[in-house]
Structures are given as structure tokens and as C-alpha cells.
Structure 1
Amino acid sequence: MSETPAAPPTSAAGTTNPASRPERPLTWEEVRKRNYVERIKHEKFPYDLAAEFDRLAATPYEEIPEEDMLRFQWWGLYHDKPKVGFMMMRIKLPNGLLTPQKLRAIGELSRDFGRGYGEITTRQDIQLHWISIADLPQIFPRLEAAGLTTKGGCGDVLRNITGCPVAGIDAEELFDATPVVLEAHRRFSGNPQYGNLPRKHKWTISACPYHCNAPEIHDVALVGTIQDGEPGFAVWVGGGLSTVPRIAKPLGVFVTLEEALDVPRAVLELWGNNLKYRMSRAKARFKFMVDDYGPEKLREMIENHLGRKLTDLKVNPQPKGRTDHLGIHPQKQPGKVYIGVPVFPGILRAEQMLAVAEIAEELGAEIRLTREQNLILTHVPAKRTDETLARLQQQAGLSLDVHPMRGHSIGCTGEPHCNFSVGETKTKLVEIVEHLEQQFGPAIADLRIYLDGCPHACGQHWVGDIGIQGTTLTTPQGKVEAYDVLLRGGLGQSAAIGKAVLRRVPGTELKFTLERLVRAWLVQRQNGETLQSFFTRLSDEQIQALAHGEPAAATA
């Protein structure tokens, strides 16, 4: 981004915003003195590290400078835990789109370099683990040959652009937003001009009537709508999770398909050039700029930057419900169906990837990945549906004949790979889901449990029906694994950030605590109210009583 210092923000009346710094404009020298990441980016642009891959691959791990280990993030590479030389590699897949050839390439890389498995992420990527820096000169050419990239997978950049996984094929969509997603990816992803943002930045673009792509929790969301007969987007800004979660706010504008990317581009440039948001990593995300200015002032700034007024949004679009796009569905294309299958808990073995690629290729099908870490086979000939289901189960171990909760519960990477995680994640999620499905069966078919091992919220625990975050509990015997339980959160028409109503529940007790809460909801709910509505109606004290098995206290 430009190195022009930004003036402090002003209100519509021209007075200095109280949230801004009243003193003189900041300088890049001050920023780099305060923020070591900004200094590292300045000393060597992270995308330029590609010229040194061969040298770094030949360098013993312990001799690679920590600054270059940080720059690897711009190439989708993070330290795995423990830090002994293995990396996580994040492969960017805009809108979660995969051809059979691309999935086969990923499966082969996983088999050859990543100990035979990969993870589907909530940003519709695939991550591989156990990647050795010494193998990068072999890995990157194979990715490029398959039309794949890790560039901009991590770091202070625009991350993978997400959307509805059945865009372009689902009969209910308002219109196909795929061309806008792909153009955004082409124009901005991995583009050095936007490779030095204050922090990571996330977009989602979709015309799904269910808002399956969670626009509420993105820095910028283009939300499909029809205004005066014309397809286009409402723009939402300032969403995000991590340690300071926010639900996105409407900017109040409608943009046509042709101008859809002008507003997100303006956001990148205005935010990226404001040095206030480079002084502290903890306050650098775009949501803090939205907090400081508000949507109205931000719209004014964007219009000034673009040199034109934007069209007012007449009706803010709302989702018609929620969906996971799993199961068998007819496509827009005559004679075709898509089949969404759970991938629980978001892990695919290399042989599964290779099997799905083979099945898809033979059918002339494609593959899509979902936010809730599942897989969709598209363009399946309807007359071959039963055959395809049988092959998915027999050759890839993927089946629709499982409890639905397995298809819409999320677990982050967590243990054993993530350096931030303080507890089990995917294994704990499996334990919880298996226990609850045995206890309640189809009564909880729509329940969503989102579990994270730390506050960073890669598993989106703030907005699950039940959110779970790993922590620790100090006992006389020492520290033990524990979890906070968050309730009242959710997406959609009742979008809200959850609250940690239960703190430091021992890991050994967690599934039983959740069983008591779910049972109380099923028994005591009124007029079929959702779990979110039920626990919103109750006080913290009532919920805590339920968690301890005191139902009388909960209805007092």
C-alpha cells in the first residue's frame, strides 16, 4: 500500500473524531518502531521471499531467520506445533471450487509430503500439515502445474474469498455470483499492490438466499439482492471474530454486478493507507476502523475516494433460513444433481481425495468445499445418483447415512498442530457429537456446535448454536484441560455474538454438561423455540443451574 500518512478522521461536521489521535499525522518511521511486523515487511517484502525458496530449502531449519519464517505466511505457510521444522500449508480455493484434477494434485501432495491427510477450512481452503521447508522446491512447481496457489493464504493480505459452494447451480439462488468472486480473486488475491495490509482481511461474495457463507462475520460482505429488478449486492462491513468479535453492519448502499468490486477496493486503499491501523497489531483489523468511523462516515469516505455517490440500498437482505447444502439436490442444469456429503470432522485422507477425484472425473463432475468443512459433488447425472452415492461410500468412505449434526459442526485445527490451541479440538468435537447423537437422535438434527482451541475463532465458536473455546483450569493437582461454553450466538436473522455463560468446564465433564443443557432446551422450550432463543430467554444464573442439573432453578 501507499506510504502516504493519513490525516486523523473527522466527523460529518468537520470536527476531529474523538476516537482518533488529535496530534500530528503518524509517520512510517513511528509505525515501524512500534510494530515489528511492519518493520519486517519493510525490510523485505514477503512476496519477494519466493526468489529465496531454493536457498531456504537447503538451509537447516534452526538457521532460518525468524523474520523469514514470518514472511512464509504470505505463501500460506505457518509453523506447526512443536516448532521443529514442519509447516502447515494452506492452499487457496476461491469459493471452494475444485476440479477433479486439482483435488487429485492436492491428494498426491498430501500423500507425498503431508503424511496422508488434509483439512477443509471454514474459508473453503484445504490445509496440509507436516510440510518440510526442504520440500518446497518440489511442492510449488506441482501446485503451479495444477493451477493451484498458496500465495496470500496467510499474512497481512486479502485471504481466500469465500462464497456459496453451490453458486451457479442451485435453483434457489438469486443469481450466480461466481464471476464476481473469480474476478475479485484474479484482481486482488496475491496481488503485491495489496500485499501489505495492516492485518489479514476477509471478503465473502454470494447470492445465496440462505446466507450460508456467513456474511455477518466478514470484513466486507457482498450480499446478493435484487433492487428495482436489477441483480447486485448490499455491502456489509466490519464483521469479524477472534478476541474482539463483531457482527457486520450495513453500509447502506446497493452496487451493481459491474461496480461490485469498487467498494471493497476502496476499503483496502482507505484502511491500508491509514497509519493509525498499523501502530498496534491488536487494533489493526478493519472492524476497528468501522468502530471508529461508523458506517455513515465510512460510506462518505468511500464515495469521496471513488469520486461518485453510491446508490442507496432500499431493503437490507435477510436470509430465508439456514442450510448446509448437504444431501441430494436438483441443479439448474437439466438432468444434473449435486450431492453434499459430511466430512466429519473436516479431515480428508489422501486416499479419500484421490477417490473423490476419480469418481468426479469419471462422472464429468466437479467438487466444492463448504464453510462447515464438507464436500459437494456437482454436475452429477441424475440417473447416476444411486451409483454415485454407493461409490462415495465404498471408495471414499463418505456417506449421507450419518447424523446430520456431523455435517454442520465445526472444529478448528487445534491439537496437535496449532501453536495457539490449549486443548483438543477435532477429537473433542467427535466425542461430543457422538455422545449427543446417541442421547437425542433426530431431535437435534439442526444443532450446530462450533469448537475452537483458542480465542482466534478459526472454528467460529462465537456464532455456533453452542460455541466452545478451549482454556485451562487450575486444580490442586495442576492445570487441566477445560472449555468455556458460549450460548446465545448465531448467524442469520438473529445474528449475534455468543456469551461465555459457563467458564472452565473440565474437559472430562464437557459432554455431560452439554447433554444437560440440550436436554433442558428440548424439554422446556416454548412453541418450538430455537436453542438460541431459549437460552436468550434465560438468565446466566438459570443456565448455570441447568448445567449443574438443577432444572427447577432454570424456570424460577
Structure 2
Amino acid sequence: MAGLNPPEVPRTPASPSSAEGASPPPAGAHPRGSDRDGARPGRARRERRPLTWEEVRRRNYVERVKHEKLPFDLLDELPRLAATHYEDIPEDDILRLQWWGLYHDKPKVGTFMMRVKIPGGIVTPQQLRVIGEISRRFGRNSGEISTRQNIQIHWIELKDVPAIFDLLRQNGLTTAGACGDILRNITGCPVAGIDAGELFDTRPYVRALADFFYHNREYSDLPRKHKWTLAACPHQCNAPEIHDVGLVGTVVDGQPGFAVLVGGGLSTYPRLAEPLGVFVPPEELIDFLRALLEVWSNDLTYRANRAKARFKFMVEDHGPEAIRRRIEERLGRPLRPLAEVPRPAGRTGHLGIHPQKQEGRYYIGFPVFPGLISGDQMVAVADLAEAYGEDVRFTREQNLIITGIARADVDRVVAAMAELGFPLDVNPVRGGSIACTGNPHCNYAVGDTKPQLVRLVERLEARFGEAIADLHIHLDGCPHACGQHWVGDIGIQGTTARDERGEKIPAYDILLRGGLGPEAAIGRPVARRVPADRLGDYVERLVAFYLAERRPGESPQAFFRRHDDAQLLAVMEG
């Protein structure tokens, strides 16, 4: 995109081959009253002396694997791997396949989940058709929308990967960096460029960042996965507060640009992002983000231990002011200060029928519950969008949007989508509730997720009807939090318990008080190790209590904050 490429700034490459030792933290005073190593007061110190690459590779198996062969370079070997019997492929190469969007399906018998990376969640009808055809031909008609606006297909065999990659490449699609220690899919507002309420159209910037970083070998070896989101949606529907880097559209002195949040993330150590206190205009985005990646990537402290390698731990240790100082030193210039990050206007999933800012055109957001969409359905949706619309968008809450529909065709599209299995006239709780992949495909899951979410929602609908329309239930099968259970109105995480005979049984933790938006917060566990066959009872009693006792306009998050754990647990236990 013209005007977005920054001037060249001399830097040390981020890859392990660039140096055998890491630079020490920058000299100078550190904010927040931190001590000389830059750590925040009260934080456990990390290594005082600089680590070496030799030590890092000795401590961290994945860093050794990446050093011996950069995973991006595996692309040239795919024909060889495809012709090799699965059991004869080295485990190191199976790991490297993650950089090309391939994860073991469960059980590990030779089939893979393939994740197609879709910047901002936007695909043309032809691109969606190709993904659907790949699903039908190679993936047993499977498909799901992820919370990062990707499409995932299961049952992929390595022998078919070269042909699949050719189809994707011919249609402007890629799996590069969809998994692994790399920049993951850049997410955004799914109605960017068409919503009347947006501050400005961010699609060109998402596209430019994807073009620069997605296949960039220099940034293909990070300490761990790294997640960005970029939008100018007034509702901040893209959840910038739970990203490593959240770029929040704002306008300063008539100039569009971005406030920056850093250090967000979920998994086993959930954390909300903090303001970096800067304003970055679009023409400086690539330069700024390169410097940020290099500040993190070149500090070997965050490579030695994978459990503590995410960028959020660096922000936690040093604070955003120190991170900003390091970025400025890397750039060789100060960043423009920004006093305040815009607050979200509320919460929306962009579902239903909405007029676009393009006169006479509408977009329609359809719930895809619970995020599952078959190859047949993808092809049919693509045909519908091609006939009556413009493109298809995927949302963070695992739904889809068809854009550019003429007023005269709205009812026709709604009816056709209902026939495909995506009716609009359903309880909105179905569009606002999400579940991770879970069983039977995910090797980390210890319980059902999507089937369990369906059972829960159907049970709540049967008793409470539209009263639960605004409820957001987030259900995960493990602590990794792909389903974002830490920030749901009711968060549920799969675990295990013991029955009366001491045998392991599937169970769930129930978390409350989490949320996104103006009152963003990380939830906390209130009920632990609830046996799977009792989960519905616990949740139904909890929702009944909330609906009966809430104050006018009170959100679930505010309601649960008003009651202590003991009271809420007693309600759930009946």
C-alpha cells in the first residue's frame, strides 16, 4: 500500500543466526520505580546476566529445533514429506509443520488440522469456495471458524498437502504462520470498510501488515506465538485487551492512527493489555511493529523457558513504559505520546441486518453455532455471496457476515441461509457464545466443548427463552483458552475430577466476573471440578439466580461481582 512502507532503519536481525549472545537491557533510568534490571517492583527477577544462544537451545527443545532448520524452510521439503510414510517422518519435522498451519489431529495417527490464515477475517466468494472444496475433497467435509477469524479443516493427510497449498496459493490464500512461534492471523473488525459507525477503514492497513509479515522469514522465529488485532470499530469488537498488541483506531488533530495496547493474553496466565501511551500513524505502523518484535525477540530471557516466553511476560516484568523506551531506542526516535486510549462504546457481535455506509447496501451477520461450518456449507455460502453480495467475513465469536446485499435481496439471502442451516431468527445467545475445537480433534482437550455448549444453550433456551439473549458463554476444553473462557459472562474450562471409586472423570471449572469492553476483566474460578453430568444443573441454577435477582440493566459481570464466591457456589450446588 502506498505510503505505508516505512523508511529503512538499520537493525540486528531477529533470527537466532544473527548473534550468539543477547544484548543486555538498555541503560538508563526505568519507570515505575523499577530496579536496575528493569523489573517492576514486586516481580520475580529473571536472569541477571545475558543468556547465550547455546544455553537457550540447551534449555528449550523448540529453540533447538528452530535453529537446526528454520520451520519456514520446510516448504521446499513438503513433496518429500508427502511421499514419506507418516511414522517415518521425524518428530522435529512434525513440529515444524506448525509454521505451515498443520497440527496433529487427535489421536496422532497421521491426520492433521489445517488452519487457513485470513487477515481481518475477509474472504472473497471464490476464496471461500476453494476452502470449501478443499474441505470436501481432502477434509471429510469438516470445517470450523476460529476465534481468530480463521477457517480450520480436519482430517488432512500429508500426501495431499502439496496439492492443497497449490490451490490456496492460486487463490491468494495461505497457511503460513497460522501456527507456531510466529505472528498469527491479524484480526480486526469484521465490518471494516462498510460500517457507518467506524472511525475510518482499516482494511488497507491489515492487508499491508499481512503482506509484509506473513511470509517474512526474518520474523518467522519468535520466542512464542504473537497476536495482533487492528480496528477502528467504536465497539472494539475485536477484543484488543486480550492481545499481545492491540491497535485501537483513533483520530488525533484530524489525523487517523492507532493507540497501542500491549501485553494482553489468556491461556494459563491471563492478563489484560495495558496502554503503551503512544499514537502511531498508519505510515509508521510497519516500522513500529518491527521494532516491537525485535525488542522482544532479541531478549533471550524470553526464549529460555517456553512457559514464560509470551510477550505478555515481558510487559508484566518491565511495564509498558520500559517497553516503550526500548522500542524508541530501537527506532532511534521518540514515539508520539497519547494520553488516553479510546474506550469501547459497548458490545456487539455485528449480527442481524444492518445498512452499510454504501448507500442501498446491507450486511447480514449470521450465527454459526457452535462455530461449525461444513465444506458443503462453505461452497453454498460462497455461491450465495457471489450471486447477491460482495464478500464474506468471519467474526471473533465464530459467526459469519455476508456484505454488499441490495435491499431487494435481503429477504432472499436470509431465507437461503436458513435453508443452509444458519437461520437468523434464533436466540442471540447462540451468536454470542463460543467453544474451542475440543474433542474429538484437539490433543489438549480433556472434555467435550462444542457438543457441551450446544447442550447447555439448548437447556437454557428451553427454560429461559429470550431472557438469556445477551448472555455470553465461553467454553474451553483445556487451559489454553482458545475459547476465551476467562472473559465470558460464564466461563467454563474442561478439567478432570475423581468419582467415588477414585476413577478419573471429565469435569469443568466455572469462572465468573470476566468480560470484555468498558468493564474488561479476567474471570475467576468459583466452582471447581464440577462433574460433566452435573454441569447443566450448576449453570441453570446460576442463570436462574441472575435473572431473578439482577437489578435493571445489570450485566452478568456486575451481578456476579455483587455476590461473593460462597453465595454463588451455594446457588450452583443447589
TM-score over 0.5 for the alignment?
Answer: yes
Asked if residue 161 in structure 1 is aligned to residue 175 in structure 2, the reply is no
> 1:137 Cα deviation (Å)?
2.1
Q: C-alpha deviations, 1:195-223, integer Å up to 9, x for none?
A: 00000000000000001000010000100
CA distance in 1, matches of 2:26, 2:308: 16
Deviations 1:322-363 (A, max 9, x none): 000000000011110000000100010111111111111112
Alignment pair present for 1:17 and 2:76: no
Query: For residue 6 of structure 1, what is the amino acid of its counterpart?
Result: S
Counterpart CA distance in 2 for 1:16 and 1:173 is 42
Contact 2:370–2:454 (CA under 8 A) maintained in structure 1: yes
State the 1:467 CA deviation. 0.3
Which of 53, 57, 64 aligns to 1:39? It is 64
Q: What SS does the corresponding residue of 2:167 show, helix, strand or coil? A: helix
Provide the C-alpha distance between the structure 2 equivalents of 1:16 and 1:28, rounded to a whole number of angstroms: 20
User: Residue 236 of structure 1 contacts residue 248 of structure 1 at CA under 8 Å; is this kept in 2?
Assistant: yes
State, as a whole percentage, how many aligned pairs show the same letter: 61
Q: Which moved more, 1:263-272 or 1:165-174?
A: 263-272
Alpha carbons of 1:407 and 1:22: their partners in 2 closer, same or farther (altered >3 Å)? Answer: closer
SS of the equivalent of 1:484 reads strand
List aligned pairs for 1:93-172, cutoff 5 A.
93-172=118-197
Give, in whole Å, the separation in 1 of the partners of 2:70 and 2:449: 34
Cα distance, 1:185 vs structure 2 = 0.5
Match of 2:435 in 1: 411
Paired residue for 1:444, among 468, 477, 488? Answer: 468
C-alpha contact (below 8 Å) 2:100/2:179 kept by paired residues: yes
1:243 is paired with a residue of what secondary structure? coil
**Larger mean Cα displacement after TM superposition, 428-437 or 470-479:** 470-479
1:422 to 427, 443, 446: 446
Structure 2: where are the runs of 5+ without partners?
1-13
Q: Pairwise CA RMSD of aligned residues? A: 1.3
User: Match of 2:516?
Assistant: 491
Residue 10 of structure 1: how far off its partner (Å): 5.6
SS in structure 1 at match of 2:257: strand
Task: Using the TM superposition, name which of 470-479 and 78-87 deviates more.
Answer: 470-479
Cα deviation, 1:480-524, whole Å, max 9, x if unaligned, reads 111000000000111111001100111111111111111111111
**Contact residue 374 and residue 407 of structure 1 kept, 8 A:** yes
8 Å CA contact 1:77–1:88 kept in 2: the answer is: yes
8 Å Cα contact 1:465-1:531 kept in structure 2? yes
Match of 1:214 in 2: 239
Q: Residues 356-505 of structure 1 correspond to what in structure 2 (within 5 A)?
A: 356-394=381-419, 396-477=420-501, 478-505=503-530
Q: Is the 8 A contact 2:248 2:341 kept in 1?
A: no
What SS does the aligned partner of 1:247 have?
coil
Letter matched to residue 226 of structure 1: V
Q: CA deviation at 1:8?
A: 3.8
Q: Secondary structure at the match of 2:533?
A: coil
Amino acid at match of 1:294: G
Give, in whole Å, the separation in 1 of the partners of 2:337 and 2:48.
35
Cα deviation, residue 444, structure 1: 1.1
- 1:75 maps to what in 2? 100
1:172 match: secondary structure: coil
Contact 2:38/2:322 (<8 A) preserved: no
SS of match in other structure, 1:261: helix
Q: Which amino acid aligns with 1:17?
A: G
- Residues of 2 paired with 1:131 and 1:527: CA distance? 50
Q: State how far apart, in whole Å, the 2-side matches of 1:305 and 1:448 are.
A: 41
Deviation digits for residues 244-279 of structure 1 (CA, Å, limit 9, x no counterpart): 010000001111122233332211011011100000
Shift of 1:20: 4.7
Q: Aligned to 1:213, what secondary structure does the other structure show? A: coil
Q: Which residue of 2 aligns with 1:289?
A: 314
Q: Describe the superposition over 1:108-166 as per-residue Cα deviations: whole angstroms up to 9, x where unpaired.
A: 00000101020100000000000001111221111111211101110000000000000
- 1:262 maps to which residue? 287
Q: Could you tell me which residue of structure 2 aligns to residue 192 of structure 1?
A: 217
Closer/same/farther in 2, CA of residues 22 and 506 from structure 1, 3 Å limit: closer
User: Is the CA contact 1:454–1:470 (under 8 Å) kept in the aligned structure 2?
Assistant: yes
Give, in angstroms, the shift of residue 9 of structure 1: 5.8
In structure 1, how many angstroms separate the alpha carbons of the residues matched to 2:124 and 2:62?
36
> Secondary structure of 2:401's partner?
strand
Distance 1:22 1:436, change over 3 A: closer
Per-residue deviation, 1:15: 2.4
What does residue 553 of structure 1 align with? none
- What is the identity, as a one-letter code, of the residue corresponding to 1:12? A
Deviation at 1:315, TM superposition (A): 2.6
Q: Aligned residue for 1:225? A: 250
Deviation of the 1:452 alpha carbon: 0.3
Q: Which residue identity does 2:476 align to in structure 1?
A: D
- Comparing 193-202 with 468-477, which one deviates more in the overlay? 468-477
1:376-428 deviation digits (Å, cap 9, x = unpaired): 0001112211111112222x221101110111100100000000000000000
Structure 1 residues 32, 437: CA separation in 2 closer, same or farther (over 3 Å shift)?
Answer: same
Deviates further, 238-247 or 356-365:
356-365
Tell me the distance in 1 between the aligned counterparts of 2:444 and 2:474.
17
Give the direction of change, closer, same or farther, for the CA distance of 1:22–1:138 in structure 2 (3 Å limit): closer
In 1: Cα distance, 2:228 partner to 2:436 partner: 20
Structure 2 SS opposite 1:250: strand
Quick one: distance in 2 between partners of 1:536 and 1:267?
Answer: 36
